[in-house]
Structure 1
Amino acid sequence: MTGDFVAVLANPFAGRGRHRGLLPGVVDALGVGGRPVRILEAHSGAEAEAVCHAAVAEGAAAVVAVGGDGTVHRALQAVAGTEAGFGVVPAGTGNDFASAVGVPSQALRAAEAIGLALRDQRAHRVDLALARTARGDRRWFCAVLAAGFDALVNERANRMRRPRGPRRYDLAIVLELARLRARDYVLRLDGVEHRLTAEIVAVGNCASYGGGMRILPDADPTDGMLDVIFASRLGRAHLTRLKPRLRLGTHVSDPRVTVLRAREVRIEAEGIIGYADGERLAALPLDVTCVPGAIRLLR
């Protein structure tokens, strides 16, 4: 690993602000790596990506994301495909990527593990997914791309100003269920076309999203493959009964649910905005490719 400093991107609002006092301890724990630690200042998602890109360009030995999957997503845009190390200190509402790749769940333990990995110059290669939009824009993601009902819920919640906090998401679910309709999709998995009508469609590099919902329970971020799930027409009642099973991943035993694997996936549908790692990407169609070993994970 090159560079002489560790860049830290911290989201003070991650985990609904529960971890605001965490940063000094994280900095101390990272210090066992023997390199100075630089806190990156950002006030928006775009600024977060810009300061991470600048740190990598300056030769940072590593970029460390302190937060949840959204913070990880921002940092990955700069680190993916480079030789800079990448570390995650889980401090968000949803820490699905950290859980999938074996990061300690306790934040200070995770930070110390990153510091020790830097000191010992060891890293683990982990896959990422690379999404390309119809305009040719590229976005990396680490966990799951939602392209069905959950994407519609996210889009509605982002348009709502009230209520604040998690209740807004709960209300968005109720409102989207009230207007639920299956959509026509065209999926191409390694060139093989699938035409279907569905409410649930997702592509995953990791097993879970949304803070532990195991939408793709067998997804492995080190196997060079993407897992793809879709369900035949479910309807409101069946979808409502299926959703609680996501926590255990048992929904995949439902005969209406199909899980396939591919290296390259294209998703086409009208009226859907794709969300990856909980972040808004772009309207479908989206082309998604698994990039093996795209990051050097420190843990």
Structure 2
Amino acid sequence: MTAVDFTGSARPVAVLANPSAGRGRHRGLLPTVVHRLAAGGHPVRVLDARTPAQARAVCRAAVDDGAAALVAVGGDGTVHLALQAVAGTPVPFAVVPAGTGNDFAGDTGFPADPLAAADAIAAALRHGRSHPIDLARATAADGTQRWYGAVLAAGIDAIINERANRMRWPRGPRRYDLAILVELSRLRPRRYTLRLDGVTYELDAVLVAVGNCASYGGGMRICPAADPTDGLLDVVVGGRFNRRTLLRVKSRIYPGTHVDHPLVRSFQARTVEVAAAGITSYADGERVAELPVTITAAPAAVRLLR
């Protein structure tokens, strides 16, 4: 923990809020969250953004203008957008969890209740308290880079996400459920090339996850040993699973005991290169890039207010 002197500063706290996060169940809380954040001693400014591109732009502008902090009010997708602006800068970051999946917030110690999280952030601002944690940086084949905080998926989970995002019907959660049924019916191991700190592995797998934190998908501890303060990435590989075995193992992902299955292998590395044909990776639930992708651990890349 390191103290940062925010006391007496008139710099605003910038807030990126997603009112549709968590299917809108916390939509009415934003005024109260803003009021509680103001107890940290700074003016609070809610950023105006209606699209992901606008969100990235206004967050970047707030950071460049010297915001006292950037706060994401929403789920992992909102966090992911905000991290693109704040990562690698001295501007502190915080999360008021208000999404369907709040994996980054939970794994990094923010209270699950949005108002309790706002109070904790305000207290950290008052006392000038922040904690450094690691992020991961994903680089696509064309050189495009993306920061992420939780987990990058590059297996059946990413394939399901990609199908669901291409579907125009049905709407809502049923679209994702249908994508699961379609892709499970077509489940087959894919050939992967993994390069972990320069050591190459050729293997067949249905699941590859690269975690800075432990969880994704709303509490599934896919990389249960991941620690966002150790300077390492955790890689979990699910090998030649058939449908029946994969469905049996799925319930073990929530507590993280799936890593004990004989078809699951775990690794740690500072740099991870993942290659396979026909797969688009997703990080923090957001589309990143087609494989191959190189992921690099970035120690102390962001400071959290909590």
- Per-residue Cα deviation, 1:131-168 (whole angstroms, up to 9, x for no partner): 00001011000000000000000000001122222221
Q: Which amino acid aligns with 2:137?
A: L
Q: Which residue of 1 aligns with 2:105?
A: 98
Q: Is 1:285 matched up with 2:292?
A: yes
Q: Which residue of 1 aligns with 2:225?
A: 218
Quick one: distance in 2 between partners of 1:24 and 1:294? 30
Partner of 1:21: helix, strand, or coil?
A: helix
Question: Deviation at 1:213?
Answer: 0.7
Quick one: distance in 1 between partners of 2:259 and 2:171? 33
Question: Deviation at 1:32?
Answer: 1.3
Q: Which amino acid aligns with 1:96?
A: D
Q: Which residue of 2 aligns with 1:206?
A: 213
Partner of 1:185: helix, strand, or coil?
A: strand
- Structure 2 gap ranges (5+): none
Counting only pairs closer than 5 Å after superposition, residues 83-162 of structure 1 correspond to structure 2 as: 83-162=90-169
Partner of 1:163: helix, strand, or coil?
A: coil
Counting only pairs closer than 5 Å after superposition, residues 43-54 of structure 1 correspond to structure 2 as: 43-54=50-61
Counting only pairs closer than 5 Å after superposition, residues 1-299 of structure 1 correspond to structure 2 as: 4-299=11-306
Quick one: distance in 1 between partners of 2:81 and 2:43? 22
Partner of 1:123: helix, strand, or coil?
A: strand
Partner of 1:296: helix, strand, or coil?
A: strand
Q: Which amino acid aligns with 1:213?
A: M
Question: Normalising by structure 2, what TM-score?
Answer: 0.96
Question: Normalising by structure 1, what TM-score?
Answer: 0.98
Question: Deviation at 1:170?
Answer: 1.2
CA-based RMSD of the aligned residues comes to 0.9
Question: Deviation at 1:245?
Answer: 1.3
Count of aligned positions: 299
Quick one: distance in 1 between partners of 2:12 and 2:278? 44
Q: Which amino acid aligns with 2:21?
A: A
- Per-residue Cα deviation, 1:208-251 (whole angstroms, up to 9, x for no partner): 10000110111111111100011221111111111121111111
Quick one: distance in 1 between partners of 2:238 and 2:172? 30
